[in-house]
Structure 1
Amino acid sequence: MSTTAPATSAELSTRGADADRGRSPQGPSRSARAGRMIGRPLQYIALVVYMIFLAFPLLFLLTTAFKTPQELQSPNPGFFPTSFNWDNFAQAIEKANLFTAAGNSLIVAVSTTILVTVISLPAAYALARFRTKLRGLATGWILLSQVFPFILIIIPLFLVLKNIGLINNLFGLILVYTVWSLPFALWMLQGYVAGIPVELEEAGAMDGASRFRTLISIVLPLLAPGLVATSLFTFISAWNEFFFALVLIQDPNLQTLPLALARFVGAEGQVQLGQLAAASLLATIPSLVFFMLIQKRLTSGLLAGAVKG
């Protein structure tokens, strides 16, 4: 009968390593590879469907704006126009005075965006950093202000603005939009400020920076994506708002774009579809351009540059 010598520690470790190499996967399993091969095309298909869903209203406006009245009144109109008809654009600009209305909307939207950003930035920082009793009251006011509908406040708001002479005044409309957009902007910026580590500010204070210098040099660059998102929301809300402008502005020369677009709906509900589509397409261009200018900031990292020496 033969005897086997006990294995040394070196041999045992070698066998263990060989066993571990045998058990370690050399690559993804067959089921994982199959799932990845199936999942990736489904993701692309879902993305394409979602993009078509988002782009369909703009594409519908584009095709409708170039159709002739005969095509629009046809019992079975095609989706694409048979020819490019530019008359709808010329008639829309002439009838609704779109350039003046666009200028008014631009003044109101830009001014509202600037005011909301300037007011909400320090207020959001105070709400996120200073733990006081007023913080709970302020947060409750922000949430409560979003509950009231337009129709509930429009009559007292109209009376107040009438008493101070801000009816038929773009400045009055800017004030209304600023007050209405401010709570949501505060709520958004507060979340962005809370996401910035307070240790970064403490490090700046230890290096001798004042609170103002810390806010400008550390907090503000990291808060840029939040400021861009808040500015985009405020600009689009002021650009597209209709109800407040309808009640507060009666002068045709001071009307904003949404009010100008309402001219294409007749008293009997008859819609001049071609001209309305052309005017609506022109009205969407500024907001699209504004989004294209700032969309890179929306995707930038919140803490980009926080670890730079």
Structure 2
Amino acid sequence: MSAQSLTKTTDIPAVAPVRSRRTLGNRADGQRRIWNGVAAIAALVLVFPIYWMVNTALSENENLFSRTPRFFPFPLSLDSFAGILIDDGFWSALGMSAGVTAVVVVIAVFFGFLAAVAVSRFRFRGGGLIILLVLIVQMIPSEALFISQFRMLDDWHLLNSVGGLSILYIGTIVPFTVWLLRGFIHGIPPELEEAAMVDGCSRFGAFMRVTLPLLGPGIVTASVFSFLQAWNEYTLALVVMTKPSKATLPLWLQTFSSDLSATDWAGIMAGATLISVPVVILFLIVQGRLGAGMMAGAVKG
């Protein structure tokens, strides 16, 4: 066999893999573009209600009832925001919601964290029953407890108070917090604490120095969940906070709608926009840890 024929036979296998790699690469790029397009469409669908809320808040009332929808709020109107910022009811509701949310986040995450550590790190009789009870509590509709919760707070003289509403929120949020943090704690090997104890740390010191820093994403995730539940909750507050002066922000939005007058849609959307601002700020601050926490919680436990 000649050298020229050897060269030709050895060149053919070398070209085929290159072409196949290019074909696979082009196919992968095409699939990536398709999925990117699907993700962009899904993002637009999710963002559009928020855009429409802000658009309505910046529009004049007479333009809201036009048969032709206006996708851009021209001329811009800040009258709805100005009316809210000078309303004493808004600031009273803001203080009530902020107080309830702060109490709920601190206490619910603290006790949920202690319970999650207990059921994850210690073996005791009834530990499995506690986890089962946590799941059962999650299955009970909150509406089924309204009458008993109202009577309980009425007997304790805690209606229309930060403490009374906080107790109900904490009882609702703690079971899920326990279940959430239990998954994070299970994902941290106890051998890390044992190694720290071998190096001279006490059990408490090993937990505080080794395990607790690794639980940062989980604690942030639980805190954000508690914040959202307490900040946006409506039905329990509607039952417990019967006085208008003790309304939370979701209840305060009812003041823009009345049976005797037309609904102020621009005011409702402006109020909803202002209520959403703290949530957006919170997500901007903790988005890195929150993303890591959600990913970790999805694969642990």
Quickly name the TM-score band, shorter chain normalised.
0.7 to 0.9
Q: Does 1:84 align with 2:76?
A: yes
Post-superposition offset of 1:111:
1.2
The answer on whether the counterparts of 2:184 and 2:218 sit within 8 Å (CA) in structure 1 is yes
Please list every run of 5 or more consecutive structure 2 residues that lacks an aligned counterpart in the other structure.
1-9, 297-301
Counterpart code for 2:287? Q
Mean CA deviation greater in 283-292 or 46-55 = 46-55
Decide whether the 8 Å contact of 1:92 with 1:276 is kept in 2: no
Q: Distance in 2 between matches of 1:28 and 1:200?
A: 47
Question: Per the alignment, do residues 211 and 33 of structure 1 end up closer, same or farther by CA in structure 2, a change over 3 Å counting?
Answer: same
The whole-number CA distance in structure 2 between the counterparts of 1:268 and 1:276 is 17
Tell me how large the CA RMSD over aligned residues is. 2.4
Residue in structure 1 matched with residue 287 of structure 2 by the alignment: 295
> Within 2, Cα distance between the matches of 1:299 and 1:242?
27
Residue of structure 2 in register with 1:200 after alignment: 192
| Aligned equivalents of 1:182, 1:160: Cα separation in 2 | 19
State the Cα distance separating 1:95 from its structure 2 match: 5.1
Determine which of 163, 166, 178 is the counterpart of 2:170: 178
Q: Over alpha carbons, which structure has the higher Rg?
A: 1
Q: How does 1:1-309 map to 2 (within 5 A)?
A: 29-94=21-86, 97-267=89-259, 270-300=262-292
Distance 1:52 1:96 in 2: 36
CA change 1:26–1:201 in 2 (3 A) is: farther
Residue 307 of structure 1 is matched in structure 2 by none
Q: Which amino acid is the alignment partner of residue 141 of structure 2?
A: P
Alignment correspondent of 1:9: none
Distance in 2 separating the partners of 1:268 and 1:190: 51
Aligned residues of 1:63 and 1:81 also touching (Cα < 8 A) = yes
Residue range with higher mean Cα deviation, 99-108 or 263-272: 263-272
Structure 1 range deviating more: 58-67 or 200-209: 200-209
Is contact 1:96-1:263 (8 Å) kept? Answer: no
Q: For the residues of structure 2 that align with 1:217 and 1:232, how far apart are their CA atoms?
A: 24
Conservation of the 8 A alpha-carbon contact between 2:100 and 2:162: yes
Structure 2 residue identity aligned to 1:260: W
- Rounded to whole Å, the distance in 2 between the matches of 1:193 and 1:117 is 14
Percent same amino acid among aligned pairs?
A: 32
Check conservation: 2:101, 2:230, Cα contact below 8 A. Answer: yes
CA contact (8 A) 1:96 1:261 kept: no
TM-score by length of 2: 0.87
TM-score (norm 1): 0.85
The gaps in structure 1 that reach 5 residues or longer are 1-17, 305-309
Deviations 1:25-63 (A, max 9, x none): 569623311212202212321222222122112101110
Q: C-alpha displacement at 1:74, in angstroms?
A: 1.3
Paired with 1:137 and 1:150, the residues of 2 have a C-alpha distance of: 22
TM superposition shift of 1:82? 1.8
Deviation digits for residues 46-96 of structure 1 (CA, Å, limit 9, x no counterpart): 222222122112101110001111101212231222211011112234457
Mapped contact 1:120–1:186 kept (Cα < 8 A): yes
Instruction: Give aligned pairs, total.
Output: 285
Give the partner amino acid of 1:162.
D
Q: What SS is found at the alignment partner of 2:126?
A: helix
